Amino acid sequence: MKVLKGQDILALGFMTFALFVGAGNIIFPPIVGLQSGPHVWMAALGFLVTAVGLPVITVVALAKVGGGMDALSSPIGKVAGGLLAAAAYLAVGPLFATPRTATVSFEVGVAPLTGESPTALFIYSLVYFTVVLAVSMYPGKLLDTVGRFLAPLKIIALAALGIAAFMLPAGTMGDAQPEYVAAPFSQGFINGYLTMDTLGALVFGIVIVNAIRSRGVDSPQLITRYAIIAGLIAGVGLALVYISLFRLGAGSHEIASGATNGAAVLHAYVQHTFGSLGSGFLAVLIALACLVTAVGLTCACAEYFSQVLPLSYRTLVVLLAGFSLLVSNLGLTKLIAFSIPVLTAIYPPCIVLVALSFCAGLWHSQSRILAPVMAVSLLFGVIDALKGANLAGWLPESLAHLPLSEQGLAWLVPSVAMLGVAVVLDRLLGKPREAIA
Alpha-helix runs per DSSP H in 309-411: 313-328, 332-357, 366-388
Q: What is the mean pLDDT of residues 359-377?
A: 91
- Top pLDDT among 434 and 351 is at 351
If you average pLDDT over each of 167-171, 272-276, 317-321, which comes out highest?
317-321
Q: How many angstroms separate the Cα of 362 from the Cα of each of 355, 365, 420, 423, 426? A: 13, 9, 13, 9, 10
CB count in 10 Å sphere of residue 110: 20
Helix axes 197-213, 277-308, angle to 10 degrees: 70
Displacement of CA 137 from its chain's centroid (Å): 23
Phi, psi of 156 (to 5 degrees): -60, -45
% helix / strand / coil in the chain, to the nearest 5?
Answer: 80, 0, 20
Q: What is the mean pLDDT of residues 222-249?
A: 91
Q: How far is it, in rounded angstroms, from Cα 426 to Cα 367?
A: 10
Q: Flag whether pLDDT at 437 surpasses 50.
A: no
Q: How far is it, in rounded angstroms, from Cα 348 to Cα 346?
A: 6
Q: How far is it, in rounded angstroms, from Cα 290 to Cα 102?
A: 7
Radius of gyration of the chain (CA): 22
Q: How far is it, in rounded angstroms, from Cα 317 to Cα 82?
A: 20
The reported pLDDT for the residue numbered 27 is 79
Q: Flag whether pLDDT at 435 surpasses 60.
A: no
First to last CA, the chain: 37
The reported pLDDT for the residue numbered 215 is 84
Q: What is the mean pLDDT of residues 331-340?
A: 73
User: Domain limits of the chain?
Assistant: 6-346, 359-436
Looking at residue 399, the DSSP 8-state letter turns out to be G
Percent of the chain clearing pLDDT 70 (strictly above):
95
Q: How far is it, in rounded angstroms, from Cα 74 to Cα 349?
A: 14
The reported pLDDT for the residue numbered 392 is 67
The reported pLDDT for the residue numbered 217 is 85
Q: What is the mean pLDDT of residues 57-73?
A: 82
Q: SS3 of 350, please?
A: helix
Q: How far is it, in rounded angstroms, from Cα 235 to Cα 296?
A: 17
Q: What is the mean pLDDT of residues 313-331?
A: 92
Q: How far is it, in rounded angstroms, from Cα 210 to Cα 223?
A: 9
Q: What is the mean pLDDT of residues 385-404?
A: 74
**Cα angle, residue 394 at apex, residues 393 and 399 outer, rounded to 5°:** 85
**Interval 105-158: pLDDT, tens:** 887 777 777 777 889 999 999 999 999 999 899 877 766 766 677 778 778 888
Q: Which residues contact 208 (CB under 8 A, 6 or more apart)?
A: 12, 15, 16, 19, 59, 62, 63, 67, 227, 230, 231
Q: What is the mean pLDDT of residues 278-294?
A: 81
Banded model confidence at residue 436, pLDDT cuts 50, 70, 90:
very low
**Cα angle, residue 315 at apex, residues 309 and 320 outer, rounded to 5°:** 85
pTM, whole model, 2 decimals? 0.80
Q: Flag whether pLDDT at 332 surpasses 70.
A: no
Which superfamily does CATH assign the domain made up of 6-346 to?
Amino acid/polyamine transporter I (1.20.1740.10)
Percent of the chain clearing pLDDT 90 (strictly above):
25
**Interval 194-212: pLDDT, tens:** 777 888 888 778 778 888 8
Q: How far is it, in rounded angstroms, from Cα 24 to Cα 105?
A: 10
